[in-house]
Amino acid sequence: MNIEKPPLLFRSQFGRLSPVNKIAEEAVKALSGQDCRVEIKRSTANQRRRAFYWLFLDVVAEVLRDRTDTPWDAETLHDELRRTLRLYDGPPLKTPAGREVYRLKSTSDRSMNEVERAAWTTRAVNYCE
């Protein structure tokens, strides 16, 4: 499981789980009648901030797709923001051809606390504005 993926968020309504973010809606559509396993966890402020971040990236990626006619998506934008805003460990590695490769830091719950996530989200939003 990729910890850099947006969270699948649902709300309990009328005895059913309803998707509340785009990635959850897409996941439900992809099931197309199949059974799946669900692990119930309460959403914290940290998860709401993560959900906002990924929703924001979806919107920005859509704008980039429209303006550049290139296939931007939230995951690509996330990686590019981490490179551009220098969210990586140590100096870049070099390939024999001289290309620089960065060890990008994770933005997962395990890697960032609430204060760090708030700062990262603010930096990303300010940069994209």
Residue pLDDT, tens place only, 39-48: 877 666 677 8
Position with higher pLDDT, 32 vs 123: 123
Q: How far is 24 from 43, CA to CA, in rounded Å?
A: 14
Q: Count the neighbouring beta carbons within 10 Å of the beta carbon of residue 107.
A: 20
Given a cut of 60, whether residue 1 has pLDDT beyond it is no
Query: Do 11 and 18 form a contact (C-beta atoms < 8 A)?
Result: yes
**Any bridge partners for residue 12, and if so which?**
17
